[in-house]
A = this chain, B = another copy of it.
């Protein structure tokens, strides 16, 4: 099983290393929401933010729990997902440094969230965040842009899930991942895929076996090369793009 820890961390006591002004030194500031903030606002936000650390596989959020907090990912990766009663799982998104978690939710969280590998996050209480939102005009605009971007991504994913073949799904995933890495300042071509086959399957609406087989086929055809340390080289990105049937 992927989720092995049932304790929710969303209201656990955070491991505070008492930083005086963590936000100024924040490594993901330019990626995250806080880009929109002035120096003073940043100082103010520092007073309400709390750092949280998760171990691999740890649960941050249970679907349906009261949405008391919002988070920004500092380092590491998470999966957010929805479950059907019989255990079928749909991974809605993977979150990486700079990504935001918890905006869409109103009274309860609409999905679960678990760490992949070790994760560091910033945690805001919902009410404090709403307060900041009401006062900092730039924050609001930026947040709207984030949600809009998420909605666009979700709609693209609907096309992938509803109308693409297994092969097209995998190739689309690789391309998207590569582009996202480039945009986030990470290495674009031998991409590092920190998520397991099971997660990829649950993200693309496939079984692990189909994911594995498809990777093998692509490797055999020479369009990708599987490298150590979860890395994948895209040998002809242009050709791959065509194979993915982009919208």
Contacts and interface: CB of A to CB of B under 8 A. Distances in A.
A84 interface: yes
Contact of A90 (B85, B86, B162): B162
B162 A205 contact: yes
A144 interface: yes
B82 A204 contact: no
Contacts of A247: 63, 82-84
Most buried by B among A86, A144, A154: A154
Interface residues of A, number: 37
Interface string A185-213: 00000000000000000101100000000
Contacts of A111: 155
A245 interface: yes
Given A162-B204, A247-B84, A152 B90 contact: no
Nearest to A81: B159
Within the oligomer, what is the number of copies of this chain? 2
A112 to B, nearest CB: 11
Interface of A: 63, 82-86, 88-90, 92, 103-104, 106, 110-111, 140, 144, 147-148, 150-152, 154-159, 161-164, 202, 204-205, 245, 247
15 contacts: A63-B247, A83-B247, A84-B247, A86-B245, A90-B163, A104-B151, A104-B155, A106-B148, A110-B152, A144-B147, A147-B147, A154-B158, A161-B161, A162-B204, A163-B205
